[in-house]
Amino acid sequence: MGILESIDKRDLRELLCMGWMTHDGMWFYNVFQKCGAKTASDLNRAAIQSMSEFEIPRLKKVMGVNEVTTYEQLKDFIEGAFEVIGADFMQFRRQYPGNNVVRWDAPEGQCFAYKGVKRIGALDDYDCGIFYRVEAWLKALGIGFRVTPEVHGCLMHQGKHCYREYTLDM
């Protein structure tokens, strides 16, 4: 038996996700060092939007999903996707209170992106990439939405609770 067969799936997911997030963070840090926080944040969001055009079809394929056109299908897709690509250190909670609403929030003080961006000193010009990824997914799935609150910057940096609520056009 090779090493890949002996590694627990959850441990492998954690390792790959931590590697991806380390790369993402180091990419952001290096752009920040050379070009400033605003440019790093803008380029990060552009990369997220572009990535979603690849990520959503790949997730649909690996999960055996043909379409996501109903609230229930979206809920199943999001939960399944995060079972595949989410890591334990990503403490965001997802709630589905009904009426085509999805709520995402971070436990108090637990946003990993906030902690990383704070560590490098780039919070003043940082626009949240975490929720932008959620929005990019919704766009890639062809789902219209309204977001509350509409935020520029980082809520935690503003001393507020980190959350978004999406009302979906489904």
| Selection from 135, 129, 137 nearest residue 153 by Cα | 129
What residues does each domain of the chain span?
8-169
- Give me the torsion for CA of 85, 101, 159, 106, rounded to 10°: -30
Query: Do residues 168 and 144 touch, judged by C-beta distance below 8 A?
Result: yes
Model confidence over 36-48: pLDDT tens digits? 988 999 999 999 9
Question: What pLDDT was estimated at residue 154?
Answer: 87
Return the DSSP state at 158.
Answer: T
Query: Which H/E stretch holds residue 165?
Result: strand 163-169
Residues 18 and 128: their CA atoms lie apart, in Å, by 19
Residue 92's pLDDT is what? 86
Question: Mean pLDDT: which of 56-65, 84-93, 123-132 is highest?
Answer: 56-65
Per-residue pLDDT averaged across 124-135, rounded? 88
Question: Is residue 90 predicted with pLDDT exceeding 90?
Answer: no
Any bridge partners for residue 102, and if so which? 166
Residue 151 pLDDT level (bands cut at 50, 70, 90): confident
Contact 131, 104 (CB under 8 A): yes
Q: Right CATH number for 8-169 from 3.90.550, 1.10.1060, 1.10.10, 3.30.1380?
A: 3.30.1380
Q: Examine the pLDDT at 144 and tell me if it is beyond 90.
A: yes
Kindly tell me if the per-residue pLDDT of 109 is higher than 80. Answer: no
In contact, 120 and 32? CB cutoff 8 Å = yes
Average pLDDT, the chain: 92
The arrangement of strands across the sheet holding 93-98 comes to 93-98, 101-105, 163-169, 144-148
Query: Does the pLDDT of residue 66 top 90, yes or no?
Result: yes
Neighbours of 170 (CB within 10 A): 14
For residue 130, give the 3-state DSSP assignment: helix
What pLDDT score was predicted for residue 99? 93
